[in-house]
Each structure stands twice: as C-alpha cells, then as structure tokens.
Amino acid sequence: MRKIGILTGGGDCPGLNAVIRAVVEKCAAHGIETFGFAGGWRGALNAEGKWMTLADVENLQAQGGTLLFTSRTNVLKEENGPERVKATMEKLGLSAIVAIGGDDTLGVADKLNNMGLNMIGVPKTIDNDLAGTEFTFGFDTAANIAMEQIDRLHTTAYSHNRYIVVELMGRHTGWIAMYAGLAGCASVTIIPEFPKTVEEVAQIMLERKERGLDYGIIAVAEGCEFADMDLSDANLDEFGNVRVAEKDVAERLAEALKKRTGIPTRHTVLGYIQRAGSPSVFDRILGTRMGYKAAECVIAEDYGKMMALQANEIVAIPLAAASAGRKVVGENLYKCAELYFR
Ligand code: F6P
C-alpha cells in the first residue's frame, strides 16, 4: 500500500482543514494512506503525528485553523534537517509529502524536492501574496472579517467625531487592507505597494474636515513603512521575517496623525481574529479543489508541483513558483480605490 505524509506550516489559515480532508479522502479512495505530521516541518523532522482516518476528517472543511497544528520550523536551519526528513520518510514508508503553506514552507518543500525527496505543495496564506496562483484560500475569509469590523468601526468613529486607524494583516503586501478598506469605505487605505507619508494622510483628514467630516477610518497594512515615521525597531522570526505585529504601525500612525492634525485619532489592531474561525464558502471550495488536485498529483506520482488557481481552474505548476516573487496589489486596483481617498 502506498503512503504519503501531509503537513501544514506557517500561520494558520481558514481552508487548511478543507485541503487536509480532500487529500486524505481522495488518497484513501485510491488505497493510499496518509500520515498527518504534527506541527509542520517540526513533525517531519521528528516523525511526530498520526495516521489519518476518514473519521478524523469528517466535516473537517467547516473548521478553521489546522487539525495538524502548525509551526514556523525551518528544516534548512536545523542540523541535518533534510537528512532527518528523509529518515522520517523512510521510517514511515512515505513516497511523498504534501506540504501546505506559504512561501517559506513551500520554499523548503522545493529545496527538499530538488534533493530527491518527493514533494507536492499547496499554497496557503491569508495575505494572498503568493505568486503563481490568482488567490490563496484564507484570504476571502480574512478580507470579509476585516470588512465587517471596519463596517462596525464607522459607527463609533462617527459618534465620537474621531478617526480610527485600523491595522490589517499583510506583512509584505496589502491585499487584505485593500479589499477591506475599499469594501468598507475607509477614508484612505495604506499598503506597502503604494507607500504614503504621514503628511499625505494628514492632508486627507484636514481636507475632509473642511468639508465638515471630522471622523473616518484609516486602513493600514501592518507591513507599511512611512518615509516620515521611524518603525525600524522590530524583531525577526526564524525565516528572517519582521515580526510585524511588534511594529505597532497603527498605534504610531494614529499618534502621529493626531499630532499633525489636532483631530482625535485612535487605533485598533484587528490581529489574529482575521485568520481565526470558520472559512467562507469560497475558501472551503478553493481548499477542497486544491487538496483534490494535490491528491491527483500524488496518484500520478507527479512531484515537484504546486497547486494554483488560474482562470478558475486548479492547475499543477512547478513548486519553484512559490518562491519566485510576490503577487502584489496592482496599479489598476489601487487607482480604483484611490478614487475614494477623500
Ligand atoms: O503570513 C500570514 C500572517 O497572517 C501575516 O499577515 C502576519 O504578519 C503573520 O502571519 C503573523 O503570524 P504569527 O504571529 O503567527 O507569526
């Protein structure tokens, strides 16, 4: 009987469980057993986890988070990391691993695949910034949660004649901020792809004041930099990513805007609520379709591939695509949103 492993790495994300369910079910239907590694690459390094049953994945697509736990462990930074993964695969008799994760997790999978360990990747991130795929599951749920919170914040901002700076997730790109800010009618949305200065944001607030509007929402992606505000004192994680939550972008921006405009300005950080809880229908279906296609690759022994959504079809593209740069918010979308920065 053929056997494979499956793991989830990086930040958790609504839709991960839909992928796990689809892989386990489709593989089982072809007589392939699936070992679920616990805690991403950490489980693969230490041979930790369990053999998955159909009972484990019953109705799993409806649940947020990941049944298998996750970590940001980087195999390539561990002593004899690739050898340890190889030993685990041999010990458990696995012919391949399906790795579900963002650019870090899939980058590791690509390198291991190049070293001769069979890997298949499924892209995941609420940030939606993975190249090669038009959308990643998790993003739709996160953007909807963020939009709902912005909708709510309008009423308290209005009632108190004040601005609220809302910090959204997105350490390198501003997809969540852009979608939620535009859909939720923010007075301005600031994203890493199209930087603004504090002064420019202050001007928008002052112009609104002249029109009798002394309240509003300012959406800001957590990864933003400002030429006129220092945010350089941040920590790095194991992959060298800035721990953006520690930059306090919204808090510092709100403070700076209050100083410059004299308009009361508060801040709120939406944080982990954006990736918590049950996935939207879009994310359940996208996760299911990607898991199904990944299992088809397992069955066909078509390794070194990453699943991708292209023109509404799920296709298998080279795994290297995950590390081939980021998908950023483009000018057309930004220009459309900019019309409402007023
Ligand atoms: O990469 C997805 C993401 O949600 C980012 O938007 C965020 O910066 C990061 O994960 C934070 O995750 P953690 O605090 O778990 O490392």
Dump the DSSP string for 78-143: STTHHHHHHHHHHHHT-SEEEEEESHHHHHHHHHHHHTT--EEEEEB-TT--BTTSS--BTHHHHH
pTM of the predicted protein model: 0.95
Residue range 274-283, pLDDT digits in tens: 999 999 999 9
Q: Which residue among 171, 247, 327 has the greatest number of ligand 1 atoms within 8 angstroms of its CB, and so is best to mutate?
A: 171
Whose tokens are 């996760």? That residue is 287
Task: Specify the residue for token string 């508060």.
Answer: 266
* Token pair in block for residue 196: 């603004």
Give dist(CA 8, CA 16) in Å, integer: 7
Ranges of residues in the chain whose predicted pLDDT is under 50: none
Q: What is the pLDDT of residue 339?
A: 97
Residue nearest to ligand 1 atom 13, measured at CA: 11
Supply the residues annotated as catalytic.
127
What residues pair up with 120 in beta bridges, in sequence order?
98, 305
Question: What pLDDT is attached to residue 150?
Answer: 98
What pLDDT does 230 receive?
A: 86
DSSP string of 170-207, one letter each residue: -SS--HHHHHHHHHTT-SEEEBTTB---HHHHHHHHHH
Q: What's CA 232's distance to the chain center, in Å?
A: 23
Cβ atoms 199, 146 nearer than 8 A: no
Torsion sign over Cα 232, 235, 240, 241:
negative
pLDDT of residue 231: 81
Q: Of 104, 105, 106, 126, which is best to mutate to test ligand 1, by the most ligand atoms within 8 angstroms of its C-beta?
A: 126
Whether the Cβ atoms of residue 204 and residue 166 lie closer than 8 Å to each other: no
223 Cα nearest atom in ligand 1? 8
> How many angstroms does the Cα of residue 11 sit away from the middle of ligand 1?
5
DSSP per-residue codes, 253-284: HHHHHHHHH-S-EEEEE-GGGGG-SPPPHHHH
pLDDT value for 235:
59
CA of 237 to the centre of ligand 1 (A): 10
Express each pLDDT in 199-239 by its tens digit: 999 999 999 999 999 999 999 999 999 999 988 775 566 67
Residue 33 contacts residue 1 (beta carbons within 8 Å): yes
Strand pairing partners for 289?
none
Per-residue pLDDT, 240: 64
Q: Whose CA is nearest to atom 3 of ligand 1?
A: 11
In angstroms, the CA 279 to CA 259 distance is: 40
Q: What's residue 259's pLDDT?
A: 97
The residue nearest atom 2 of ligand 1, judged by CA position, is 11
Question: Which atom of ligand 1 approaches the CA of 170 most closely?
Answer: 6
Calpha distance 250→270 (Å, rounded): 10
Give distance in angstroms: CA of 317 to centre of ligand 1.
25
Q: Decide if 61 contacts 283 (C-beta within 8 A).
A: no
- The pLDDT value recorded for residue 207 is 98
Q: What one-character-per-residue DSSP string does 279-306 give? A: PPHHHHHHHHHHHHHHHHHHHHT--SEE
